[in-house]
Every structure is written in C-alpha cells, then in structure tokens.
Structure 1
Amino acid sequence: MLNGLLKIKYYLLIFSLVLIACNTRIEQGFEIIPPGLNSTENLIKGIRPDKDYQYWACIRQDFSGKIHPETEIITGHGNISYFMNIKFDQPNSGFLFKMWEGYFYIAYIENDSVKLVTNKTQLIRFIGKIDNLEEALLLAELDNLEVDYTRDIGGSYKKTKKGFEFYLTKFYKCPVKTEPYRVSIDIAGDIKAKSLGFYYNIDNNICLD
C-alpha cells in the first residue's frame, strides 16, 4: 500500500513538472522586449500623444512630509515658457505610485490653461491611440504587470492589428514570487491579462519591504 502511494506521488510530481515545462513555452511570432523597457522613466519618455499641446511634461513628485521633497520633470515637450508663466496647484496623487520614488503625473497646457493627468482614464485620453511599445507597457505597469528579462515568458511581445500582445509578469514581495501572464492591450487602452497558472522564483522565507 505504501509503495503504491509513493508511486502515485512520484507520477503526480513528474506530471506537474512536465505541465510547468509546457507552460513556459511562448507562442511563435513573439520577440524579446528591447532592453531598458522595464524602467518607468523610459516608458514615460516614449509617450507620443496624438494631439499637439502647447507644452506638456510628466513630473515625478516626492511624497509630502519629506523635509526636502523633490520635483523632477521626467520628460517635457513643447514651449516650456507656457508652463513657466502659469501657476497651478500641484496634485496630491498621480496615475502611477512607486514605493520610495513618489508619484507620477502629467501637466499639459491647452487653451492657455493647465490640465492634469492623475489617473489611468485621463492618461489614456491624453495619449489617444496606444500605438507604441512604451505606451502599452506603461499601461501594463499600472496593472502591476512588468517586464522580466530573465525569461522569454516574462519579457516578450508581438505587434498585432489591434494593438500588442505580451508575456509579462507580476512580482509579489511577500513571499517573493513571480507569476507569468499572457496580456493583450489594444489601441484603445483596454487590457486583458490571464495568469499562466504557476509561479517561479518562489521563496516562502523572504519578504521584501
């Protein structure tokens, strides 16, 4: 009886390993995402709005409460004099929040007044068509889907008629583990993400702050 149970456990283990091995294969037609596109700043620098604005800038703002909070312009386009001559109230949140870094928002000048982008819906409206890799990956990052260059299944893409398809990952801090996802993002900014049903880089004894 004991030997029979051991055999069942052995075959279940082999089956699980084979299933994971099959799941780690990506479909034909996918390419490795170019280097550097796991950086939020590089994705932001790739934004190309469909509409011309007098000036627009993406700004990283430190959290309130710091003794010397920093304000950093990640990228800016247009005539900055419009921006320098108009006062506006800094928002207390943005479309993207990152631990230890602060939050990101966009300020743009339209009809000689400042307008702000502080959430995902406003960001999609500001960009217009999601028609380049950086814009699509930025939207994915807002849903905690990231590029993992250590495996094809975490960092591959394919351009389609409707937009982009990806293999991306979600990274969990406690316990540390990575979950691969199959993702599609169309030109309207609609995202569909499906877990591939397994984890790798699992360490139940480690949590990151």
Structure 2
Amino acid sequence: MIRIATQFMILACILSGVLGYSQKKKFSSIPNILQQLDPDEKTDSWVLVYNNYGKGQEIKTSGSKINYTPQFSGFNLFPSEDSFYYIAYSAGGKIGYVTDVEGLKAFVGKIDNAQEAAIILASEGYIVDEEFKDLAGNYHEDASSYYLDLGKLTSKECPYQKTHYTITVNKSTGALTNVKDNGTYIELYNKKCANNPRLLKIEKKEDPNKDEPKKTPKRR
C-alpha cells in the first residue's frame, strides 16, 4: 500500500511539473520584462533608465550607484511607443551605454529566461503586443525550449498590419529552432489607402451618373 502511494506521489509530481511547464503565461508590461534582465557581460554596476518626454526614470539598478550622462535616444520593444529605454553601465572604471536593440542583445548574452528570449527577439523585429497578449504576448516552456507567441509589424503600407508567430528558442543554445506563422491579426486602413474597403463601398453607393448633365425630355 505504501509503495502504491509513493508511486502515485511521484506520478503526481511529474504531471504537475509537465503541466507547469506547458501552461501558457502572459508577459507582463514591457518595464517588467526588462526588469528580468540578467546580463552576462561583466559589469561592476548598471542601471536601466526609462525616458518619457525627456524625463528619465531608473526602473532597475544593479550594483553601486554610477554617475552617467542622460541619453537622448535608446531602444524600444514596442514600435508605436514615443518613449525609449537605455542602459548605463560601469565596467573596468569606464561608463558605457546600451541605446539600441543590437547593443541590448550583446548586453544580455546567454538567454536565462523567457523574458530575455523576448528581449533578444526584439532585435529580429518581434514584439510583445501589450494590446493583444492572447495572440502576441505570451509564452510557455518545457525542459528544452521556450515557446513565445509574439507579434511583428509586417506591413507599414496600406493596409498597416501585424502578424503573430510562435517562436521556439532552445534553452541551451539560444538558437531559434522554429518559427510558425499564425497569420495576420490586425489590418488597419487609413483615409489615404487607395484600397480601403470602406472608401470602395462609399464609391459604389455614389450615383455613377452624378457628373452627367440632366437630359431635357423631348416634347411630343
């Protein structure tokens, strides 16, 4: 009886582990994602700064306080944002800055969690879409890989559109082992779009003979 109970407990632990891994989790806000940074680059200390309308706010610090120069440009993980982020760090007595996604990718180094995987994928144009987290802002994982559902701006022309993907990232190597296209989830037309369906419907409703002169009926 004790043996059966023990086997049942082991099976329950295995199942709970599998379910815990496979369950989808939504990414929180962009600042919270960035706060999960655990850089491999050797630094004495560093600070992550959020700049909004010219005002800088330190949202994560590591190590002792450093004297840095406020930056006027930086990286962004969501293309429609007006604000930006940058990192100031101290290494070997020198101050350095991370102000673009390529620099951020190098700063992160080896992927340690799903949040860092999303940050690395930002350099490939993928985004955590905070407005559509069910489609393009969640992830799950197993023992070998992270599986991220992210968005990507796939057209800036008419119509403006976003596509969502499921990207598999190997935990050991950080390599993208699979990218699945799940299709477009946003298509937006503006007034300047010549192929705007709404404008086409309006044109069809208009009288095709509105510009023709009215014909006077003939007298009998």
Query: What TM-score comes out, normalization by structure 1 length?
Result: 0.62
2:94 is equivalent to residue 102 of structure 1: no
> Aligned ranges for residues 80-159 of structure 1 at < 5 Å?
80=65, 83-84=66-67, 87-88=68-69, 90-96=70-76, 99-142=80-123, 143-147=125-129, 148-151=132-135, 155-159=138-142
- Runs (4+) of structure 1 exceeding 6 A deviation are none
2:166 is equivalent to residue 182 of structure 1: yes
The amino acid that maps onto 1:70 is K
Query: Do the aligned partners of 2:101 and 2:122 also contact (CA within 8 Å) in 1?
Result: no
Please point out which of 26, 29, 32 is paired with 1:42.
Answer: 32
Q: Structure 2 unaligned runs (5+)?
A: 1-20, 193-220
Partners of 2:109 and 2:47 in 1: how far apart?
A: 16
Using the TM superposition, give the Cα deviation of residue 50 of structure 1 relative to its aligned residue in structure 2, in angstroms: 2.9
Highest RCO, 1 vs 2 (Cα 8 Å, sep ≥ 6): 1
Query: Greater shift after overlay, 189-198 or 139-148?
Result: 189-198
Q: 1:171 to 1:124 in 2, by over 3 A?
A: closer
Query: Do the aligned partners of 1:130 and 1:186 also contact (CA within 8 Å) in 2?
Result: no
CA RMSD of superposed structures (Å): 3.3
The amino acid that maps onto 1:95 is F
Partners of 1:103 and 1:169 in 2: how far apart?
A: 19
Q: Structure 1 unaligned runs (5+)?
A: 1-28, 64-68
Query: Do the aligned partners of 1:176 and 1:206 also contact (CA within 8 Å) in 2?
Result: no
Render the CA deviation track for 1:139-167: whole Å, top value 9, x for unaligned.
Answer: 2344233254335x763322453x52223
2:43 is equivalent to residue 53 of structure 1: yes
Partners of 2:74 and 2:185 in 1: how far apart?
A: 31
Using the TM superposition, give the Cα deviation of residue 73 of structure 1 relative to its aligned residue in structure 2, in angstroms: 1.1
* Partner residue in 1 for 2:147: 165
Query: Greater shift after overlay, 110-119 or 194-203?
Result: 194-203
Using the TM superposition, give the Cα deviation of residue 45 of structure 1 relative to its aligned residue in structure 2, in angstroms: 0.5
Query: Greater shift after overlay, 131-140 or 141-150?
Result: 141-150
2:33 is equivalent to residue 33 of structure 1: no
SS across alignment from 1:79:
coil
Partners of 2:178 and 2:83 in 1: how far apart?
A: 26
Question: Computing the radius of gyration over CA atoms, which structure comes out larger, 1 or 2?
Answer: 2
* Partner residue in 1 for 2:61: 76
* Partner residue in 1 for 2:207: none
The amino acid that maps onto 1:117 is V
* Partner residue in 1 for 2:203: none
Partners of 1:134 and 1:200 in 2: how far apart?
A: 23
Query: Do the aligned partners of 2:126 and 2:150 also contact (CA within 8 Å) in 1?
Result: no
Query: Do the aligned partners of 2:105 and 2:119 also contact (CA within 8 Å) in 1?
Result: no
Q: State percent identity of aligned pairs.
A: 21
SS across alignment from 2:110:
coil
Query: Do the aligned partners of 1:62 and 1:70 also contact (CA within 8 Å) in 2?
Result: yes
Using the TM superposition, give the Cα deviation of residue 58 of structure 1 relative to its aligned residue in structure 2, in angstroms: 1.0
Using the TM superposition, give the Cα deviation of residue 39 of structure 1 relative to its aligned residue in structure 2, in angstroms: 1.4
Partners of 2:112 and 2:31 in 1: how far apart?
A: 18
